[in-house]
Structures are given as C-alpha cells and as structure tokens.
C-alpha cells in the first residue's frame, strides 16, 4: 500500500465510528485526508486522530467531494440518504447498516470468507450484521471442508449492538440498581442491567425478529448458497461490547470434533480458546478488544450423529463492525478494486 487515500467516516462520533478511528490509526491505513461526519448534534466537536484534533462536520453533499472511501456507520436511514450521493461524487461506500445488504447489486463481504465478491461492487459494499460476521468466520472453514446442511444459532448479544448510548444506559442502570434506585430504559426497550430479553428488532409473521432473519439471509448470501437451513434465536444480554453465540451445525456425514478443532486452529480470524481442565472457553470479557473470533467447546452433538456444537465470542464493535469494514477497505486497496464496475443508482 504505497498510495494514500481520502477517507470519510459517516457516524464518526458513535461507538463504531470511534473504533474505526482507533483501528485506522493502529493499522496505519494509508490516509491522505480524513473527514469526520456526523449529525448536526455533533457540530463543534472534534475527535483525536494521530495526535491531531479533527473537527466533526455535519453530513452534507459537499462533504463527499474529493473522497475515495466512505466508512458509513450512522444507521440505515442515514446510509439510504447519503450513500448514493457519495457514490455519485466518486467514492466507494463501505456501509455498516442493513440498508443495502440484501440488494443483489451490493456485495456483502466478510474478507475471511468471500473476498472475491468485492470485485463486483458498483460503488457500495455492505458490511454484514455483527452476529452474522462472527458466525460466518467460525463456520466457513468447516463448511469449505464439508458443506453444512443446517445451522441452529442462539446468540447472547451485548449492549454495544444498539450503539454508544445503549452502552451508557446499561452502565447507568447497573449503578442505579446497586444504589437501590429503579433502572431507567430510554434507548433499549427494557432495563438490561441484571436482565436479558429477546432482541427487540421488528417481528415477522413467523415470529422471527429482524436480527434473526439477518443471520439467516445474510449467511446464505455470504456463503453463496440458499441451500443451508438456518434458524436463530437472538437475545440481548447485559454485556457491554462482545457478542456470544452457541452454534449447532448439522452436516451430511459425521464431522469429528477433533478434525473441526484442527481446521479452526489454522483458520484466518479464528482463535481457539479451549481448556477443558479449567473450563476455560471463550468469554465476552476476553473477546473485548480482540480482532479474532474466539471459538471453543467444540464437541459432538450427542443428539445427532452428524452434528457438531461450538461456542464463540467476538468483539461486536471490532470484528462485528469496524474491523470488518476496514479489512474490506484494505482489500479494495490491495486488489486495486476502488473503481466501481458501474455506478450505483438508487431505485
Ligand atoms: P451524532 O453523534 O451527531 O448523533 P451509535 O450507533 O453509537 O449510536 O452512533 C451513531 C452515529 O451515527 C453517531 O456518530 C451519530 O452522530 C451518527 N448519526 C445518527 N444520525 C445521523 C444523521 N441523521 N446524520 C448524520 N449522522 C448521524
């Protein structure tokens, strides 16, 4: 990477935006110019990057002029409003929202899984849902060896998935409860401190919430097959920033835990955490701040001859969002894929 690039972060003041800044600095992404964009609420703020204070600008048409790459993490409606504007001005948008993920013209990329699909972009590349990213990093290496027939996922999702304000709310609720005060829920629908509840995204007619359907539909798109049967139950838990997932996999023929362990031990983006003697397996507290998805408790499913169980934890803000987006940007730069094959036109 000898050239440097003009970047904009849309949603720079949020939980993912903050992580994007930190990762761009620590990974030394080649930056010629950096614009920090957010809402009018952030007018007058500035953020530190490489020892400098960079002012936060309210997003506008002009903000996307002379920008090569936009890292967008300001929610679906903001992406819908601005992605096409940025593309029309010549930028490639790596979008962390769900706005374009299922659009057939928009590649949905996990660099460890389907990097080649990025070459087909038309200006927008979607970053998958966080629970999906973490699951696909762990399941893809096994799927490559023996195709997975069915996945049953149960998630334990941290407050960070609902943004920086939800994280602050859980801290405030915890402190209120410890002082004998009632917890106040404004960002999340119910108190999360000392509690848990099913993910509160909208429910469909079958009783599945949007988050669960993201795991189903996005995983199929990333793996490039509609044949895998997937079901998920997504639960919000009082953890600050790393998600956990219990994954049950069903194959056509038996897949030994030993073989799965060996494969995962050398898979990109995966770190095995398994000490059966001390019961030490992945924990959100140990996944926090790590790039890798921690995987462990790999065992034969005693209820099915071709079933395998595994447990994983991954930093939702990092690999589940900001890191994956930056890895996509690095991929575009390394493979010289910044030029879109044809410009995205919003319908
Ligand atoms: P702001 O801080 O100005 O509200 P999080 O997911 O942690 O809640 O962060 C959301 C990010 O998206 C923040 O940077 C927020 O900026 C930004 N954002 C939210 N709504 C808009 C909007 N309408 N236009 C631009 N940025 C927005």
Ligand 1 centroid to 62 CA: how many Å?
18
Cα 301 to Cα 8, 152, 156, 283, 310, distances in angstroms: 46, 12, 20, 21, 9
Marked catalytic residue, from 121, 130, 143, 199: 130
Q: Interior CA angle at 78 toward 76 and 82, to 5°? A: 120
Retrieve residue 219's tokens: 């995983």
Secondary-structure class of domain 5-99+321-334 per CATH: alpha beta
Of 114, 165, 164, residue with least CA distance to 140: 114
Ligand 1 centroid to Cα of residue 19, in Å, is 14
In the predicted model, is pLDDT for residue 167 greater than 70? yes
143 is catalytic: no
Residue 123 beta carbon below 6 angstroms from any ligand 1 atom? no
Return d(Cα 279, Cα 118) in angstroms, integer: 40
CA angle 238, 240, 184 (to 5 degrees): 55
Examine the residue annotation and report whether 234 is marked as an active-site residue of this protein: no
The rounded Å distance from CA 11 to ligand 1 centre is 5
pLDDT in tens, 113-126: 999 999 999 999 99
Ligand 1 contacts CB of residue 42 (under 6 A): yes
Q: How many angstroms does the Cα of residue 306 sit away from the middle of ligand 1?
A: 45
Q: How confident is the model at residue 344 (pLDDT cuts 50, 70, 90)?
A: low
Nearest CA to ligand 1 atom 15: 11
CATH of domain 131-316: 3.30.360.10
Q: Where in the chain is the domain with CATH 3.30.360.10?
A: 131-316
Is 347's pLDDT higher than 50?
A: no
Reported residue count of the chain is 347
Ligand 1: which residue has its CA nearest to atom 22? 39
**Start and end residues for every CATH 3.40.50.720 domain found in the chain:** 5-99+321-334
For residue 71, the model assigns a pLDDT of 98
On average, the pLDDT of the chain sits at 96
Which helix (H) or strand (E) element contains residue 330? helix 323-334
Cα dist from 337 to 1, 69, 108, 119, 280, whole Å: 13, 11, 15, 6, 42
185-205 pLDDT, tens per residue?
Answer: 999 999 999 999 999 999 999
- Is the Cβ atom of 129 under 6 angstroms away from ligand 1? no
Parallel, antiparallel or unpaired: strands 46-49 and 52-58: antiparallel
Catalytic residue among 121, 234, 243, 313: 243
Ligand 1 pocket member 59 (CB < 6 A)? yes
Burial class (CB in 10 A: 0-12, 13-18, 19+), 21: buried
Judging by DSSP bridges, how do beta strands 5-10 and 69-72 pair with one another? parallel
């Amino acid at each position: 990477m000898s050239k440097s690039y003009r970047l904009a972060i849309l949603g720079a003041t949020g939980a993912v935006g903050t992580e994007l800044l930190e990762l761009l600095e620590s990974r030394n992404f080649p930056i010629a110019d950096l614009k920090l964009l957010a809402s009018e609420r952030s007018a007058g703020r500035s953020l530190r990057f490489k020892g400098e204070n960079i002012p936060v600008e309210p997003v506008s048409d002009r903000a996307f002029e002379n920008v090569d790459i936009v890292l967008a993490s300001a929610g679906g409606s903001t992406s819908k409003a601005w992605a096409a504007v940025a593309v029309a001005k010549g930028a490639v948008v790596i979008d962390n929202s769900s706005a374009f993920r299922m659009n057939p013209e928009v590649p949905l990329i996990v660099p460890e899984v389907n990097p080649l699909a990025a070459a087909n972009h038309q200006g927008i590349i979607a970053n998958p849902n966080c629970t999906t990213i973490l699951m696909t990093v762990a399941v893809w290496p096994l799927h490559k060896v023996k195709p997975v027939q069915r996945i049953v996922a149960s998630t334990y999702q941290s407050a960070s998935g609902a943004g920086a304000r939800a994280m602050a709310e859980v801290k405030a609720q915890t402190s209120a409860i410890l002082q004998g005060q009632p917890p106040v829920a404004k960002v999340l629908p119910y108190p999360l401190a000392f509690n848990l509840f099913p993910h509160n995204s909208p429910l469909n007619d079958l009783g599945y919430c949007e988050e669960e359907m993201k795991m189903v539909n996005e995983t199929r798109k990333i793996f490039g097959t509609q044949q895998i049967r997937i079901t998920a139950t997504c639960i919000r838990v009082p953890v600050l920033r790393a998600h956990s997932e219990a994954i049950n996999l069903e194959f056509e023929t038996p897949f030994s835990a030993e073989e799965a362990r060996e494969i995962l031990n050398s898979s990109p983006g995966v770190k095995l955490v398994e000490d059966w003697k001390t019961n030490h397996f992945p924990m959100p507290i140990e996944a926090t701040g790590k790039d890798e998805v921690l995987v462990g408790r790999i065992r034969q499913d005693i209820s099915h001859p071709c079933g395998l169980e595994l447990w994983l934890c991954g930093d939702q803000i990092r690999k589940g969002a900001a890191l994956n987006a930056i890895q996509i940007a690095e991929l575009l730069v390394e493979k010289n894929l910044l030029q879109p094959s044809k410009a995205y036109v919003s319908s």
